[in-house]
Structure 1
Amino acid sequence: MVNEPSAAPQLSVCVCYALPGHVWLREVMLPVDATVADALAASGFAQAFPVVKPWERGVGIFGRATEPQARLADGDRVEIYRGLSFDPKESRRRRADHRRSKTARNGRVRPAGLF
């Protein structure tokens, strides 16, 4: 019986980038000591989206921002963030204004600060 060399341990990591109506997703196999930057390079993200600079908007692992040199664990999901299509504060203001105008039209008065 011949002893075969065992394969080097590897990590399975998912790299994703969400666009409106479309999700780009790649699963890559990397060495155990791989970093987030290694995962991005192996995924082919730069070729698929040549004009997107992933570190400009941020990159994270399971929703937590991270740095390029951060080490990965098996099963990690590397997320490439994009800019928001709207300002959350402005959306909240518009919803509050809409509720106020709706209340005024119905003749009901709500205490200030309760929406």
Structure 2
Amino acid sequence: MRIVLMYASAPRTVHEDSLDVAAGCTLEQVLAQAGWLTRFPEIGTELLTTCVWGRKADLDHILREGDRVEVVRLLRVDPKVARRERFVGQGARSTGLFAKRRPGSKAGY
């Protein structure tokens, strides 16, 4: 089976490996076979989580052909909250449809 491993250890730093493994391997076995558990000791901590194609997966998850395993960092801020705070900071009249307004037109057009 062909598996792709992805891990962004820091902003703008991405580690990617492609690996051939036996059928029926678990996520933990693949990480160990690739040497990532020793290369990146933080993978076993609570600060990181593992995903398969963007969906959270436990280390005992059995992988299939072509799966993409991702090791992701936890979010510091909820994206919805961050967007609301940016919107409040920018003001309602200067964003989105209201950014450019033709003279004499209605608001939002």
TM-score, normalising length from structure 2? 0.71
2:6 pairs, out of 6, 9, 16, with 16
Structure 2, unpaired ranges of 5+: 99-106
Q: Which range moves more in the overlay, 73-82 or 53-62?
A: 53-62
Q: 2:7, 2:72 within 8 Å by CA — same for their partners in 1?
A: yes
Counterpart for residue 52 of structure 2: 61
CA 42–54 in structure 1, closer or farther in 2 if over 3 Å, else same: farther
- Give the RMSD, CA atoms, in angstroms: 2.6
How far does the alpha carbon of each residue in 1:69-106 deviate from its partner, in whole angstroms, 9 at most, with x for none?
A: 22111111101111225442331122221233747xxx
Indicate the structure (1 or 2) with the bigger Cα radius of gyration: 1
Q: 2:25, 2:63 within 8 Å by CA — same for their partners in 1?
A: yes
The residue correspondences of 1:94-105 to structure 2 (distance < 5 A) are 94-97=85-88, 98-100=90-92, 102=94
Aligned-pair identity (%): 28
The residue correspondences of 1:1-115 to structure 2 (distance < 5 A) are 11-18=1-8, 19-53=10-44, 56-97=47-88, 98-100=90-92, 102=94
Structure 1, unpaired ranges of 5+: 1-10, 104-109, 111-115
Q: 1:35, 1:68 within 8 Å by CA — same for their partners in 2?
A: yes
Equivalent position amino acid for 1:57 in 2: L
Equivalent position amino acid for 2:68 in 1: R
